[in-house]
Structures are given as C-alpha cells and as structure tokens.
C-alpha cells in the first residue's frame, strides 16, 4: 500500500486517525453491489469513511437503497453530506433517511466525533471565488441564489463552533477553492463552489483537512489561503495509490 498522506498532526499523546473519503459514487439501481468491495476494504484500513455528496445519481430512493445495501459491508463509522444530484428528484429527505437507516451519520445539522477527531460538514453551494463572487444585487432570484451560498457558509461556521476538539475534518460537496478545480472549464468554476466556504474554514484553528467532490475533472489536492489541505475526492479524480477513494491520517 502506498504511504498514507498525513495532515498536520495531533499533539503528543493523541493517536492519528485514518480518514477515508470518496465523493460522487452516483449509486444507481443498475449497478447493485458496485461499492460493496470498496467499503469492505476500507473497513480494514480506515477508522472512518466520509461520503462527499452525490450519493445517488438522480436522488431516487431506490438508488439510495442500493447504496445502503453496499454500506452493509462497511464496519466503520460513516459520515456524509448530500450533493446536488441527491436533490434532483425533490426528495432529498428520503435519500438521507434511507442511508441513516443504514447507519450513515449526516453532518448537515449535527457534528460527530471519532477517536477525538471532530467531523462537520454541509453540502455547500455555488457562487464563485475570491474577488469574483456573485453579489446579492438585482433580481430576487439572484439574491436568493447568493443567500443560499451564505446560508451554507453560516451553517458550517455554526457546526465548527460547536466542535470542541483539537482536530477537525470538514466534509463538503461543492469546492471551497479553485485549485482543486483545475481541469474543469474555467467558465463553470462559479457553479462548482464558493470561496465563502474556505473563508469560514480558515477562521478555525483545528481544521486539519477538507474533503469535497462535484468537480469530476478537477485535481486531487490544493490548500486554502491559510494552508489547510483540501482534497477533491470525486470518484473520477486520480488519487494517490490509484484508488477511487482518498486515505489520509489526521
């Protein structure tokens, strides 16, 4: 097995936690069992699994049931956020409920701890990056669009405030930086994420790693302005070791 990357480490006396992450599995009813072996493998080498949105292809409950069945092979804690595909059918609550019944812990409205490491997350949203972020000016539709991005950042801020841990991991679907989007058409960068998420993350000292998906043609690794590692773990993105998932130590 290739060497596992290590995020900035814990204080003496705290053991490293092996965190696996994967995004955009896009479960379908035509691909039953697709992820079962992967989840079984991860149960042997990781302490926790993070699912970074687009858990289903069209947001349909039968698709979530297929993923839930595959997750029965997973014996470690599973943290997740939804992605835009999980909203497509208009019933994201059914997707979430089905996966919750399979033991998945969603981070949209709560935080969780695994071996002393805190996990917080939101789906995130679009809006652009740095000096080119869309502003809340003009038509109500534009204002509502921008408000959704702001609301997601505020929810993440609240979650990170809730954690009282030395080490924390953030799970997103949308990207918080442009560095992991390289390879996508630059014209669609504003629809792949928002730096409002990175601005929030950089305000917290304990964040050791950030995972996101969504950008299928992006690159694996980047950093926030503060230097926090960000990993694009969408399935199609090449990763160290050639696996569909990332594995790091926190």
Instruction: For the chain, give every domain's residue range.
Output: 18-249
Cα–Cα separations (whole angstroms), residue 229 to 8, 50, 145, 224, 232: 9, 16, 28, 7, 10
Mean pLDDT of 7-18: 69
- What pLDDT is attached to residue 4? 63
d(CA 41, CA 160): 30
Residue 1 confidence (pLDDT) above 50: no
Convert the pLDDT of each residue in 172-188 to its tens digit.
Answer: 999 999 999 999 999 99
Convert the pLDDT of each residue in 205-215 to its tens digit.
Answer: 999 999 999 99
Q: Chain centroid to CA 82: how far?
A: 8
What mean pLDDT is reported for the chain?
94
Convert the pLDDT of each residue in 109-152 to its tens digit.
Answer: 899 999 999 999 999 999 999 988 888 889 999 999 999 999 99
How many contiguous H segments (helices) and E segments (strands) does the chain have?
5, 11
d(CA 210, CA 230): 5
Calculate what percentage of the chain has a pLDDT beyond 90. 89
Residue 5: pLDDT band with limits 50, 70, 90: low
Closest of 177, 164, 236 to residue 204, by C-alpha: 164
- What pLDDT is attached to residue 129? 96
Cα–Cα separations (whole angstroms), residue 106 to 65, 176, 195, 219: 16, 19, 23, 25
Convert the pLDDT of each residue in 20-75 to its tens digit.
Answer: 999 999 999 999 999 999 999 999 999 999 999 999 999 999 999 999 999 999 99
Domain covering 18-249 in this structure, CATH number? 3.60.21.10
Q: What is the pTM of this model?
A: 0.93
Q: Which tokens go with 74?
A: 């997973």
């Amino acid at each position: 097995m290739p060497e596992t990357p290590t995020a900035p480490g814990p204080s003496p006396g705290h053991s490293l936690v092996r965190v696996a992450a994967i995004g955009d599995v896009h479960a379908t009813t035509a691909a039953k069992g697709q992820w079962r072996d992967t989840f079984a493998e991860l149960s042997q080498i990781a302490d926790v699994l993070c699912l970074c949105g687009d858990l289903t292809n069209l947001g349909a409950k039968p698709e979530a049931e297929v993923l839930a069945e595959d997750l029965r092979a997973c014996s470690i804690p599973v943290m997740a956020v939804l992605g835009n595909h999980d909203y497509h059918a208009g019933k994201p609550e059914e997707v979430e409920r089905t996966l919750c019944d399979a033991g998945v812990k969603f981070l949209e409205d709560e935080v969780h701890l695994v071996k002393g490491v805190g996990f917080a997350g939101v789906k995130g949203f679009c809006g652009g990056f740095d000096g080119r972020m869309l502003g809340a000016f003009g038509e109500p539709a534009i204002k509502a669009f921008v408000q959704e991005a702001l609301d997601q950042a505020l929810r993440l801020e609240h979650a990170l405030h809730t954690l009282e841990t030395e080490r924390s991991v953030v799970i997103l679907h949308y990207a918080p930086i442009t560095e992991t989007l390289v390879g996508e058409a630059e014209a669609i960068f504003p629809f792949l994420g928002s730096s409002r998420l990175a601005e929030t993350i950089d305000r917290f000292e304990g964040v050791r790693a950030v995972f996101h998906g969504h950008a299928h043609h992006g690159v694996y690794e980047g950093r926030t302005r503060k230097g926090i590692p960000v990993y694009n773990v969408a399935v199609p993105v090449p990763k160290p070791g050639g696996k569909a998932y990332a594995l790091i130590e926190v």
